[in-house]
Amino acid sequence: MIFVSEIGDKTFLIAAILAMTNPRLTIFLAACSALWLMSILSAFLGHAVVTFIPMSWVSIAAAVMFLVFGVKLLQEAREMDGSEIAKEMHSVEAELSEKDVAAKSQLAMEAGEAGAYTAEAGAAESFNVNVDVDGDRCVEAAGECSSDSVLNSLKNLLGLLLSPVFVETFVLVFLAEWGDRSQLATIALGAARNVYGVTAGTILGHTCCTGLAVLGGRLLASRISVKKVTYAGGALFIVFAILYGYEALDMKSVI
């Protein structure tokens, strides 16, 4: 369900466009981190609902929600003329361009303020490196060799996780996914099904979609028929609605 819902979605296009001008691994990890966090939060939020609401009511609510989403998707697919993916892509590109311009202007201002401090810090560091107190520099260097490799690895990892590209991608994808149809569906599934299975399935679906987006999302988005994918998503949501409706009726008859 997640895979069908996310192909050609806004989060898919964000990852595809950013991967064209940034390291693909960074974009993949940032987008997946945001989607994994959203999946875990949504599934366990749905699971928490069951403690306050009877299971039969949860199944009825899930059936109604999936039915509404399914009918809405089928209506959207019927009204599509084939240009939706291009319009969405242009919209995402314009949004990312505006954010990029704002970020560059902010960095330029910060660079101007930090120039003098960097020069002073560099001079002080050069002075400290050249100081040799007791002639045991070689012994200390040998002892620090192994720790330097660990520190460098940790520094590289932190540099990746705290890089502007990683943080920007994480925030953009997380905000784009918040309140999305797939998030609400994950909440409903987490309430009505095994929360660990729902979490694993949601994470797997998001990971597959993000991988496709990063590897060749722009080309894929221009080749696939969004109308057919939307029809498939609508049909899938209606199937879920029928299953949950049947489950709710079965619970009522048992009670």
Per-residue pLDDT at 18: 83
The whole-angstrom separation of Cα 186 and Cα 5 is 11
What is the C-alpha to C-alpha distance for residues 23 and 54, in angstroms, rounded to an integer?
Answer: 47
CA pair distance 80, 149, nearest whole angstrom: 55
DSSP state of 178: T
pLDDT digits (tens, 9 = 90+) for 225-252: 777 878 888 888 898 889 888 887 776 6
Residues 101-146 pLDDT 10s:
666 666 667 666 555 445 555 554 554 445 444 444 444 444 555 5
User: How far, in Å, CA of 208 to CA of 135, rounded?
Assistant: 57
For residue 40, pLDDT beyond 90 = yes
pLDDT over threshold 60, residue 223: yes
CB 233 within 8 A of CB 76: no
Separation CA 125–CA 114 (nearest Å)? 16
